[in-house]
Amino acid sequence: MRSQIPSLAATALTFSYLVVGQTTTDCNPLNSTCPSDTALGKTVTIDFTQGENSEFSADTGTTITYGTNGAEFIISSNGLAKTISTNSYIFFGKVSVALRAANGTGIVSSFVMESDDLDEIDWEWLGGYTTTVETNYFGKDNTTSYDRATSPTVSDPQDTFHIYTIDWTPASITWSIDSVLVRTLYYADALDGANYPQTPMRIKLGNWVGGAADESTGTVEWAGGYSDLTEAPFTMYVKNITIEDYTTNGTSYSYGDMTGSYESIIIENNSTSTNTSYSVGESVGTNSTSNASSTASSSNSSSSSVSVTSGGSSQPASFLLGLVGLGCAYLVL
């Protein structure tokens, strides 16, 4: 649905794609041969009330504290952003986060899924607005239009934990709040797939100052205005997160060519590799998924097929399973 955020944020919505799209990658597989990415290949649930977890690493300069509300992403008067990222990638999957957004004009809480070639799926909370959250997506860092964000309503996101979910398949992406669907994007609706996020992603959780004095005018307007750091601290809380990788038969992912198509992704496993063609109309994954309030960790059984029915029509789908060298790729937000 269309944005309902009021006043300045409503007029500045066109800047949001420009702002979030300014991400970088250490190696873009659309331009060169890059190391492979470690695959998660299972489902994990992380309870941050128990402290830090080895599935995530903190960005340089990031210190996270942990308490009864989970991981605390605290922006102090120095204004430094706080970000952690998963060490492994998922190739289609479902991620649910129990999160409380930070308050403060210009403060941006974020839950981002991002790939090496800059496909991206987002939830973002603007601290100056207490009734909405922004959803957005990007394909290959394409910034040719600025009208892809929506802002569904959410009750008291800065003082109440809600479960925010992204369910990502070759056919569609859905965003849900407390199991209530708030947005669906179909493959065909994203420039016939050209703008559709479809390459292996890792998950980033962070809190940053969009209203900083040295940010661009567009960024500040989108974030809701300049931030007053004398009012710090501004804290985002993440109690727990469940991450399900719908591809359960691999140990790493790499790009078979420079198209950025999901059909080109090579899945390496520990056994001999074979080429597999996935059937149209069957679903990704075989297990029921966990809610982010769960505290159990488990592994999925292997998926045998991929659904690419998009907006009422089917798209061809095939994945290559090939042996590739081990390695890892790193992204810088």
Pull the structure tokens for residue 264. 């080109």
Q: Which of 114, 111, 121, 117 is nearest to 89 (CA)?
A: 114
- Specify whether the CB–CB gap between 62 and 205 falls below 8 A: no
- Specify whether the CB–CB gap between 79 and 215 falls below 8 A: no
- Specify whether the CB–CB gap between 71 and 48 falls below 8 A: yes
Work out the burial of residue 41: count CB atoms within 10 Å of its CB; fewer than 13 is exposed, 13-18 middle, 19 or more buried: buried
Which residues have a Cβ under 8 Å from the Cβ of 40 and sit 6 or more positions away?
Answer: 86, 88, 89, 90, 93, 243, 245
**What backbone torsions phi and psi does residue 100 show, to the nearest 5 degrees?**
-120, 125
For residue 152, say if its preceding peptide bond is cis, omega within 30 degrees of 0: no
SS (H, E, C) 154-205: CCCCCCCCEEEEEEECCCEEEEEECCEEEEEEEHHHCHHHCCCCCCCEEEEE
Catalytic residue among 55, 72, 114, 124: 124
SS (H, E, C) 92-146: CEEEEEEEECCCCCCEEEEEEEEECCCCEEEEEEECCCCCECEEEEECCCCCCCC
Catalytic residue among 72, 114, 120, 215: 120
120 is catalytic: yes
SS3 80: coil
- Specify whether the CB–CB gap between 76 and 137 falls below 8 A: no
Question: Measured between alpha carbons, how far is 325 from 132 in angstroms, rounded to an integer?
Answer: 44
The residues carrying an active-site annotation are 120, 124
